[in-house]
C-alpha cells in the first residue's frame, strides 16, 4: 500500500503525521493540550499562518518567493482599522479597499518581476520596504487619530464567532484549503502554475500565458497577506506596528515543511496547511513546557532542519 504512494503524497502524509505527533506529545507534557478548546485555539492561530502560506505557496510553486508579506499584512491591518473607523457600516468598504491594496502591491511585484526582470527575492524585499515606509509615513508612525480604531464588530465576530462549535475563522480557512487545492489540482490555471514551476519555457511552448499567470500569482499572494491582516485585526482588536514580522519566516517554513519544493513545480497547499499546523503546534508545545525564548528559537530551527533532512532533500542527479 505504502509503496504505491508517490513521494509527493508521502511528504503530505509526513507533514500531517508531524502535526498529530506534536499534539500527542503536547498531551503528554501538558494535560488538556489535546482537548477540543485547546486544539481549536491552536488551529485558529495556525489559520493566520496558513492563509499567508496560501499566497506564499502559489509563488513558491513557480519558483518565486514573496518577502513583502510582513508589511503587506501590517499595512492591511492598519488600513482596515483606519478606513473602517470601527464602524460596521464601513466594514465592507474597508475590507474591499484593504484586499484591493494587497492585490495592487502583488500586481506591482508581479509586473516588475515579469517585465523588468527583477529577481523575485530583490523585488519583494524592496516592496516590503516600500510598503513599510508608506504605512509608517502615512500613519505618522501609528500616531494618527484613526490608527487607534478597533476592528468593526462584524470583522471581530467573523474571527471569534463560533459556528457549529468551531471558530468562524477556521471555517474560512477550511474553505480556502478546499478552494486552493481544487484550483491547483483541477483547473487550467492550477496546471499552468505547476507547468511554469517545472519549466517556464516548456510551459510557454505549451501555450501557457506565463507572464500573466505569474503576475496573477503574485496578486494572489498580496491578497492572502491582506486577508490575514484583516483577520488578525479582528482577532486582536487593533492594529500594531510589527505585527506582520513573524509571518514571513513562518509562511515560508510552513510551505517548505509541507513538502513544496522551494525550486517550484512540486507540492500542494494541503501539505503547506499541515506545515502551518505543525509549526504552530510545535510553538504551543514549547510554550506549554515553559521553554524560555532562546530554547524555543533553537528547537524551532532544529526541528525545521530535521524535517527538511527527513524528506526535503533533492534527488541525487
Q: Nearest distance from residue 314's CB to another protein, in Å?
A: 5
Q: Which of 17, 122 has the CB closer to another protein?
A: 122
Q: Is 308 in the site for another protein (CB under 8 A)?
A: yes
Fill in the per-residue mask, 230 to 259: x = in contact with another protein (CB under 8 A), - = not in contact: -------------------x--xx--x---
Q: Which residue has the cell 532562546?
A: 294
Q: Is 57 in the site for another protein (CB under 8 A)?
A: no
Residue 177 backbone dihedrals phi, psi, to 5 degrees: -60, -45
In our burial notation (b when 16+ CB lie closer than 10 A, e otherwise), range 20-52 reads eebbebbbeebeebbeeebbeebbbbbbbbbbb
CA 93 to chain centre: 24
Cα separation of the two ends of the chain: 27
Q: Which of 75, 233 has the CB closer to another protein?
A: 75
Closest CA to 148 of 227, 233, 242: 233
Q: Is 295 in the site for another protein (CB under 8 A)?
A: yes
Q: Grid coordinates in use for 306?
A: 530535521
Nearby residues of 247 by Cβ (< 8 Å), 6 or more positions away = 48, 49, 52, 69, 70, 73, 225, 228
Q: Which of 129, 153 has the CB closer to another protein?
A: 129
Q: Specify the 3-state DSSP secondary structure of 223.
A: helix
With contacts defined by CB under 8 A, how many residues of the chain interact with another protein? Answer: 48
Q: Nearest distance from residue 119's CB to another protein, in Å?
A: 5
Q: Which of 176, 304 has the CB closer to another protein?
A: 304
Q: Nearest distance from residue 75's CB to another protein, in Å?
A: 11
Q: Nearest distance from residue 300's CB to another protein, in Å?
A: 5
Q: Is 297 in the site for another protein (CB under 8 A)?
A: yes
Which ranges of the chain would DSSP assign to H, the alpha helix? 7-29, 36-61, 69-84, 91-115, 120-138, 153-160, 168-186, 188-198, 200-205, 210-236, 245-257, 269-288, 293-311
Q: Pick out residues in 261-280 that bind another protein (CB under 8 A).
A: 262-263
Q: Nearest distance from residue 117's CB to another protein, in Å?
A: 5
Q: Nearest distance from residue 207's CB to another protein, in Å?
A: 27
Closest CA to 90 of 74, 104, 79, 101: 79
CA 268 to chain centre: 13
Which one of 28-36, 152-160, 180-188, 293-301 is the stretch in contact with another protein (CB under 8 A)? 293-301
Q: Which of 192, 225 has the CB closer to another protein?
A: 225
Q: Which of 32, 133 has the CB closer to another protein?
A: 133
Nearby residues of 293 by Cβ (< 8 Å), 6 or more positions away = none
Q: Pick out residues in 87-146 that bind another protein (CB under 8 A).
A: 112, 116-119, 121-123, 125-134, 136-137, 140-141
Q: Specify the 3-state DSSP secondary structure of 163.
A: strand
The site for another protein (CB under 8 A) is made up of 65, 112, 116-119, 121-123, 125-134, 136-137, 140-141, 249, 252-253, 256, 262-263, 293-302, 304-305, 308-309, 312-314, 316-317
Amino acid at each position: 500500500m505504502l509503496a504505491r504512494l508517490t513521494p509527493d503524497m508521502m511528504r503530505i502524509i509526513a507533514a500531517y503525521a508531524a502535526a498529530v505527533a506534536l499534539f500527542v506529545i503536547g498531551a503528554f507534557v501538558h494535560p488538556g493540550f489535546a482537548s477540543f478548546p485547546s486544539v481549536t485555539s491552536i488551529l485558529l492561530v495556525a489559520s493566520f499562518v496558513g492563509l499567508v502560506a496560501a499566497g506564499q505557496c502559489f509563488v513558491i510553486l513557480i519558483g518565486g518567493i514573496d518577502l513583502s508579506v510582513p508589511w503587506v499584512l501590517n499595512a492591511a491591518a492598519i488600513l482596515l482599522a483606519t478606513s473602517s473607523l470601527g464602524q460596521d457600516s464601513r466594514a465592507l468598504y474597508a475590507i474591499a479597499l484593504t484586499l484591493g491594496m494587497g492585490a495592487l502591491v502583488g500586481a506591482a511585484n508581479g509586473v516588475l518581476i515579469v517585465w523588468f526582470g527583477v529577481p523575485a527575492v530583490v523585488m519583494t524585499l524592496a516592496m516590503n520596504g516600500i510598503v513599510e515606509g508608506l504605512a509608517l509615513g502615512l500613519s505618522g508612525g501609528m500616531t494618527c487619530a484613526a490608527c487607534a480604531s478597533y476592528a468593526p464588530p462584524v470583522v471581530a465576530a467573523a474571527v471569534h464567532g463560533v459556528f457549529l462549535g468551531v471558530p468562524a475563522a477556521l471555517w474560512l480557512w477550511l474553505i480556502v484549503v478546499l478552494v486552493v487545492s481544487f484550483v491547483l489540482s483541477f483547473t487550467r490555471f492550477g496546471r499552468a502554475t505547476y507547468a511554469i514551476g517545472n519549466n517556464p519555457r516548456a510551459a510557454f511552448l505549451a501555450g501557457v500565458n506565463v507572464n500573466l499567470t505569474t503576475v496573477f500569482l503574485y496578486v494572489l499572494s498580496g491578497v492572502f497577506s491582506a486577508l490575514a491582516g484583516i483577520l488578525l485585526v479582528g482577532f486582536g482588536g487593533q492594529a500594531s506596528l510589527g505585527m506582520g514580522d513573524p509571518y514571513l519566516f513562518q509562511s515560508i517554513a510552513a510551505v517548505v515543511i509541507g513538502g513544496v519544493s522551494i525550486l517550484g513545480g512540486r507540492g500542494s497547499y494541503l501539505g503547506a496547511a499541515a506545515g502551518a499546523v505543525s509549526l504552530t503546534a510545535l510553538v504551543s508545545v514549547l510554550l506549554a513546557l515553559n521553554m524560555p525564548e532562546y530554547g524555543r528559537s533553537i528547537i524551532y530551527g532544529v526541528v525545521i532542519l530535521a524535517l527538511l533532512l527527513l524528506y526535503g532533500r533533492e534527488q541525487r542527479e
